[in-house]
Chains A and B, each alone.
Chain A
Amino acid sequence: MSIAKGAAPLVILGLTLLPPLASAAGDPFLTVIATRMVIFALAALSLDLILGFGAMVSFGHAAYLGIGAYAVAVLGGMGVTDLGLQMLAAALAATLFALPTGAISLRTRGVYFIMITLAFGQMAYFVFVSFSALGGDDGMALKGYSTLLGLPVLASGTGLFYVSLALLTLALIGLDRITRSRFGRVLRGCRENSLRMQAVGFRPFPFQLTAYVVAAAICSVAGVLLANQALFVSPAYMSWQRSGELIVMVVLGGAGNLIGAVLGALAIVGLEEGLARFSHHWRLGFGLILVLVALYSPGGITGMIRRILPAGRPG
């Protein structure tokens, strides 16, 4: 985690400078991309809490992205546009879905856990597909942006960016503390050896379930932001491809050290947008990069950084 300490402030600082740089470069679309990066970084970060620190590989995490996005649509439709209330409702809805499905999923281990979380993710997906009041398969456009203390802060691209970045920073600090706390230590212990933890008197289940719910709630906040960015919600936010992409972000960045998930999300969104400018067939190069990283750089991007900078070892 030494790497998180050093890299996190740098990454956040770098991101802070993006919008002015974008307007200096005369390319406001860069801010849009940067916002996407930050939102997905938040989602990937939440996944890292369970995947990286709890060895719970959820293949249905995008469901919470969708739940957050639909919370904005539903509340907005009722005239509730306050961002705080929307985030609260999103987190609540995510908790309500994560509690029972997480409890059932945690009966299984390993591959079976991956697949049962996929199953629940798909169920959520199909529920929203069949909800014609919410636009069904096609999704629906939002009436307007969420407001912050009554102000239309999110209506401007930079406003949305900085709100997203602030939330990402908060989550990064919060999760950093959580993973080092007593709770986090138990979670990490269960990742390393569940039998050992039971033999000193811990029951892994409540810890794992709590982490699962916290991750879900944080991811739903990313969903709230995503809905604001697109001014549109659709079940596609919760498709299994999306869940797979979140896993890939965490693994590409390096799981279990928080900043890795952020870097992975930045890299993936950046590559997608960047390569797409060069070639229609950008996925070829993108896939190649993923394969090469998997083959030759264990631990992903943070693993690479660790090898280049022979500073302290992780701990």
Chain B
Amino acid sequence: MSALLTISGLTKSFGGLRVTDDLSLSIEECTTHAVIGPNGAGKTTLISQLSGQLRPDAGQIIYADEDITRLDMAGRVHRGLARSFQITTLLPGFSALENVALAVQARRGSSFRFFRAARAEKALNDAALACLEEVGLAAQANRLASELSHGEKRQLELAVALATGPRLLLLDEPLAGTGHDEAEALIALLGRLKSRLTLVLIEHDMAAVFALADQVSVLVNGRLIASGPPARVRSDPAVRAAYLGEEEADPCCASRV
């Protein structure tokens, strides 16, 4: 099986700060690849470069055998490379359903249609509702995004990403700030997605990471210090020293942050 995503020599600095430091990584189709690392390690910055929001200073991103390093965000989304945001990024004045319906609209037919009311397009709404159902938010479909609870916004964020019809989904801390039950539901959902999508998962919840991931990479100060199957990464002394720390000697039982 050839890799779906191959990153080589990726480098990005903010001023004097190297946030992505000569990073190379490849991700197989239909696997779940977790990227973990302390706050400020450069995880979000990595996702932003993969999704096209930020231009890397150097390096290359190959996706589905195509060099997409210079491709813009929309172009990547159309090729099936979608992301969710760590900091909720929604359309506050739109209903939950419309937030998702827009993502459906983006890939179904032209958006240069000027007369029919978009809100009444059943095909778009049905597909959007299906995504909301998938994340367990169907009951809130008609509420404004700005009125949802924090946990519900996280669910919506995921529903929007799903509605783009991704092949590779970049998830930036999808569980951050969710309550226990919501998190359980989201983890179950990710478990289901795992079988049909390729996931890149950034997450602080170690239980979730080790339950879901086929591969784990550890990012510290913009560098990969370890990458491999969970069991091997877990026992890597460098990782234990640099990241997992003493109190998480047994990460499987570590509590959620």
Chain A residues close to B by CB (< 8 Å): 177-178, 180-186, 188-189, 192-193, 195-203, 206-207, 210, 315
Contact = CB atoms under 8 A, between A and B. Distances in A.
A203 B119 contact: no
Contact of B83 (A184, A199, A203): A199
Top 9 closest pairs, chain A to chain B, by CB: A201-B77, A201-B106, A200-B103, A198-B73, A192-B91, A185-B118, A182-B113, A180-B117, A182-B118
Contact of A203 (B72, B105, B144, B161): B72
Contacts of A181: 113-118
B239 to A, nearest CB: 31
13 contacts: A180-B118, A181-B114, A182-B121, A183-B112, A189-B91, A193-B91, A198-B72, A198-B74, A200-B77, A200-B102, A201-B77, A201-B164, A207-B111
Given A182-B111, A189-B94, A203-B72, A195 B53 contact: yes
B89 interface: yes
A201 B105 CA distance: 9
Given A181-B117, A201-B73, A315-B93, 5 more contacts: A182-B114, A182-B118, A183-B112, A193-B90, A196-B89
Contacts, number: 102
Contacts of A206: 112
A68 to B, nearest CB: 22
A77 B183 CA distance: 73
Interface of B: 51, 53, 72-74, 77-78, 82-83, 85, 89-95, 98, 102-103, 105-107, 109-119, 121, 144, 160-161, 163-164
A185 B105 contact: yes
A202 B107 CA distance: 9
Contacts of A199: 51, 53, 73, 77, 82-83, 85, 89, 161
Contacts of A201: 73-74, 77-78, 103, 106-107, 164
Given A200-B160, A315-B95, A186 B111 contact: yes
Contact of A192 (B73, B93, B105): B93
Nearest to B120: A180
Contacts of B110: 182
B74 A210 contact: no
A184 to B, nearest CB: 7
Nearest to B100: A200
Contact of B74 (A185, A188, A202, A315): A202
Residue with the highest number of chain B CB atoms closer than 10 Å, among A193, A196, A203: A196
Contacts of A189: 91, 94, 102
Contacts of A193: 89-92
A182 B105 CA distance: 8
B31 to A, nearest CB: 23
A175 to B, nearest CB: 10
A180 B101 CA distance: 14
In the complex, which of the residues B72, B107, B113 has the most CB atoms of chain A within 10 Å of its own CB atom? B113
A184 B113 CA distance: 9
Contacts of A196: 89-91, 160
Nearest to B146: A192
Contacts of B98: 185
A199 B47 CA distance: 12
A178 B114 contact: yes
A178 B112 CA distance: 10
